[in-house]
Structure 1
Amino acid sequence: MPSIQSLTLTYDALNEQGTFSEGDTISGKVTLALLKQVKVNSFFIKATGDANVHWTDGSSDDRNTYSAHKRYFKLKQFLFPETSKDTVLPKGIHVYKFSLNIPQGSVPSSFNGPHGKIVYKLEAKLSRSWRMDQSVKQNILFVSRCYPNLPSLMLPQIGAIKKEMGLFSKGQADMEVTIDRMAYAPGETITVLAKINNSSSSEMTPKFRLGKKVIYRASGSTKREECTFIKVVENRIQAHTELEVRCRMKIPLDQTTTIQNCDILSVEYHLKAYLDISFAFDPEVLFPVVVVPLGFAPVPQPGVAAGPYPAGAVGGPSNSDFPSPVVSGHPYPVSPSSGRSGNPGAPMYSAPPPPVYPGNPMVFPCPPSVYPAQPAHVSGAYNNQVPEIPFPYGTPFSSSVIHPLPTAPTFQTPPAAPAIPPAPSLPAINPPPSFSPFNVSPTAPSYNLMNTDFLSQSDEAPPAYTLLFPSTATDKSDAK
């Protein structure tokens, strides 16, 4: 007759979806029903989070197997003291409560794919001497809430492409595509606006695709898995026609969130808008799409500012004479003329990030390398970044009240000072007679030696020295 009738595990849900995230507490109870008295060595519950990938490539003669494992956390709680051995439990029903705290940090969401998975689970295990261990397991749905620079993901994206026709047609085709934002939750709708100017002699069909790409990594190798789950085909555009095309694409509810914070597994979404042209390469614009948990990101309302600036404004106010930089969604700088990666005709994205203030907190603390710093990469701008200035009146994206800017102080104009009467004119002062403090000698007689003809000189004696330099002794005697 078995000793254990049942071992069950239940936990308390924190929301309607039954999901958990970083920093949450998993609480519940373990129920053990015994048919008779048993002696137990240990009884504990643990919570683990693990990522695993595994795939095989090659034929039977040359087959290679790749696998990788990553553990994010392991929490363990003993339901009675760990040091107690051979604890005797009487017959009946025993209920044990537990509480486990999920650590903070960057932890990826749950995922299950053909070549890898990210699993979070609870396990209660009962150990006895000379008996098989009794355990019960239950998976929990984990949703990561680590999305740095979330306000920048709520801004519109703009991409443009220019296509020069080849041998079978003449002219060119221009397409500018705009989507309302980058971050969406499952069940939300992506609004796409494409402005197409077909100035060529060919017909073309605008098409839109929403796809997902999963990348598995192990032992320096990667395995990709791509699929398109939404495709929209619009009406054909005739030659020499300009048209605006609007498209709405709803993200299915069964799609997982974007995963970019796992070393061995990643999940990415993208939206591709392109023109299907016969006998020519199709010009396309590719937008990254981030799928976030349901209800995680606020949906921007039409005409409402998504930040500290008015609706429709791109970035903050500027008094600079230089043109504003173009922000590209491609991982390398591009220019409007050269396109993506310097190839003519490649698309260019424009998604200006909002200003980042030192006081603007993250939604959850995450390492800076989880997502590209955003933003984004700048094209046509300068490498020297403008130093960040602290925002003195609260965080622009926080829920706290933003204080208005202080008004400029007013100064009262002081009364005018009384006029000062002109000063009376002073009597004229005669200048003093000239006075020389020194006794000036009389001017010596001049002799022009340059005009003297030395050959015709006579034997006359030279002039006396006193004639050239009169002595002052005579003046002094006269003065006496």
Structure 2
Amino acid sequence: MSPIKDLALVYEAPNEAGIFSGGEIVTGSVSFTLTKDTKVKSFKVKVKGEARVHWTDNTGDKRRSHNAHRKYFKDKEYLIAENPKDTELSKGVHSYKFKLKIPEGDWPSAFSGFHGKIIYTLEAWISRSWRMPAYVQKELKFVTKYFPVPDQIMCPQTGSVSKEMSKGDVQMSATVDRRSCSPGETLSITAHISNMSSKNVAPKVSIQERIHYHAITSSKHSDLSVSKVVGNTIKPNSVENVSCQLKVPEKAYTVHNCEIISVQYYVKVYLDISFTIDPAVTFPLVIVPAGVASHTVGPHPAGAVGAPSYSDFPTPAAPTLPAATGPYGYPTLDPMQHGAMISGYNNAYPQSVASYGFSSAVYPPSVVQPQAPYAPPLFQHEQQPPSYISMFQPPSSNKSDEH
């Protein structure tokens, strides 16, 4: 039985949110109790960042595993240096302070998914000759300082789509009020819908999370709805203006700077029509933690007009926008006129059209929503993501020097 008891690791949070970034110092202490005098080979504390992906494919009787691993940094401090002769510690309570630095760098934000993790940990190891080491670990909240945030954050994005049907057609133009936001903030979405078909249509808006996992020989992806609202049904041969507010999930962050895991978000505005492929307009969305906007780098998301759509419809012509311009030279949009729709509809919204809101039904992150044909195939989570221990096994005592 090990004489090392109550091994505890405590660190000081750098801010109220407890979030670390590159270049910051991690300070704290490690304490433990010895039930008897004990010889220790070494005692060290380290902070490290790494990413790992893993999944298994089954093809007939064959089973193939896919793996990838990236190490970002490691800093360690010896509280008891390793010597040829072990250090003997007396029975009782022991406490040691430490100070480690996270190197400056464009490290990706922490992330946990079903097939992989980007994780930052603080660890303490007590090694003894011919014995298993005593080990304790704490996971750190880490967010990068660098995001590909567009300059025109508050400028709207506008797009349109048309769907021809056997009896009449359906047209929609939609606008999202910004290109970038922070977790917990609210997006405003408006849409003008012309339903000249014989079917009912239901407007829906969702924030989609698209995750890509990359291994050496393969890749895997998923497309999940992390927030959603549903509008009132629009009857056949009618025109409506609809609007809604959609809250961004509290723990959502864009991950753009990891080679083996990427996390992207987009707003999807679509019409639910029975027995047909749903017409949709999508808008890229960069989700940035509050307070890091001054450290942004990288390319801008797609332009505001005619944002890319992952539907099966051809890219519509750019909407006709009012001539007036606002900040950054972006056209000023009248709240009742977001631009023309294709198929010849280019009039302002009728003044007699009533405005319909969306219901506040919010879908949990685990619900996988319908996917447009050109988007990556859906992946339904059937179980909880694997634990840290199952993906990042601590090394055995005979390899502790490598860590």
TM-score (norm 1): 0.59
Q: Does residue 261 of structure 1 match 2:261?
A: no
Question: In the alignment, which residue of structure 2 is the partner of 1:216?
Answer: 213
Pairing 1:172-187 to 2, within 5 Å after superposition: 172-187=169-184
Question: In the alignment, which residue of structure 2 is the partner of 1:67?
Answer: 67
Pairing 1:23-42 to 2, within 5 Å after superposition: 23-42=23-42
Question: In the alignment, which residue of structure 2 is the partner of 1:246?
Answer: 243
Quote the offset at 1:26 in angstroms: 0.8
> Which structure shows the higher strand fraction?
2
Quote the offset at 1:3 in angstroms: 3.4
How far apart in 1 are the matches of 2:253 and 2:77? Answer: 30
Q: Percent identity?
A: 43
Give the direction of change, closer, same or farther, for the CA distance of 1:269–1:9 in structure 2 (3 Å limit): same
Quote the offset at 1:70 in angstroms: 0.8
Quote the offset at 1:342 in angstroms: 12
Give the direction of change, closer, same or farther, for the CA distance of 1:343–1:169 in structure 2 (3 Å limit): closer
How far apart in 1 are the matches of 2:155 and 2:172? Answer: 20
AA in 2 matched with 1:214: I
AA in 2 matched with 1:285: V
Aligned residue pairs, count: 317
How far apart in 1 are the matches of 2:278 and 2:72? Answer: 43
How far apart in 1 are the matches of 2:93 and 2:16? Answer: 30
Q: Does residue 285 of structure 1 match 2:281?
A: yes
1:323-380 Cα deviation digits (max 9, x unpaired): xx976543xxxxxxxx99996454769999987xxxxxxxxxxxxxxxxxxxxxxxxx
Give the direction of change, closer, same or farther, for the CA distance of 1:185–1:341 in structure 2 (3 Å limit): closer
How far apart in 2 are the matches of 1:86 and 1:203? Answer: 79
How far apart in 1 are the matches of 2:79 and 2:25? Answer: 17
Q: Does residue 271 of structure 1 match 2:267?
A: yes
Does the 8 Å contact 1:284/1:347 carry over to 2? no
Does the 8 Å contact 1:327/1:350 carry over to 2? no
How far apart in 2 are the matches of 1:354 and 1:220? Answer: 46
SS at match of 1:243: strand
How far apart in 2 are the matches of 1:202 and 1:11? Answer: 60
Give the direction of change, closer, same or farther, for the CA distance of 1:216–1:95 in structure 2 (3 Å limit): same
Question: In the alignment, which residue of structure 2 is the partner of 1:158?
Answer: 158
Does the 8 Å contact 2:201/2:234 carry over to 1? yes
How far apart in 2 are the matches of 1:340 and 1:206? Answer: 17
Give the direction of change, closer, same or farther, for the CA distance of 1:13–1:227 in structure 2 (3 Å limit): same
AA in 2 matched with 1:62: K
How far apart in 1 are the matches of 2:270 and 2:138? Answer: 45
Does the 8 Å contact 2:253/2:287 carry over to 1? yes
Greater Cα radius of gyration, structure 1 or 2: 1
How far apart in 2 are the matches of 1:86 and 1:285? Answer: 67
How far apart in 1 are the matches of 2:125 and 2:42? Answer: 8
Quote the offset at 1:60 in angstroms: 5.7
Quote the offset at 1:274 in angstroms: 1.6
How far apart in 2 are the matches of 1:139 and 1:169? Answer: 58
Does the 8 Å contact 1:161/1:348 carry over to 2? no
How far apart in 2 are the matches of 1:197 and 1:35? Answer: 77
Quote the offset at 1:12 in angstroms: 0.4
Quote the offset at 1:280 in angstroms: 4.8
Quote the offset at 1:230 in angstroms: 2.9
How far apart in 1 are the matches of 2:198 and 2:92? Answer: 85
Question: In the alignment, which residue of structure 2 is the partner of 1:334?
Answer: none
Does the 8 Å contact 1:9/1:138 carry over to 2? yes
Give the direction of change, closer, same or farther, for the CA distance of 1:83–1:258 in structure 2 (3 Å limit): same
Question: In the alignment, which residue of structure 1 is the partner of 2:227?
Answer: 230
TM-score (norm 2): 0.69
How far apart in 2 are the matches of 1:2 and 1:230? Answer: 49
How far apart in 2 are the matches of 1:143 and 1:275? Answer: 35
Question: In the alignment, which residue of structure 2 is the partner of 1:430?
Answer: none
Quote the offset at 1:54 in angstroms: 0.8
Question: In the alignment, which residue of structure 1 is the partner of 2:3?
Answer: 3
SS at match of 2:151: helix
SS at match of 1:151: coil
SS at match of 1:52: strand
How far apart in 1 are the matches of 2:128 and 2:236? Answer: 81
Q: Does residue 144 of structure 1 match 2:141?
A: no
Does the 8 Å contact 1:34/1:90 carry over to 2? yes
Which runs of 5 or more structure 2 residues have no equivalent in the other structure? 295-302, 329-403
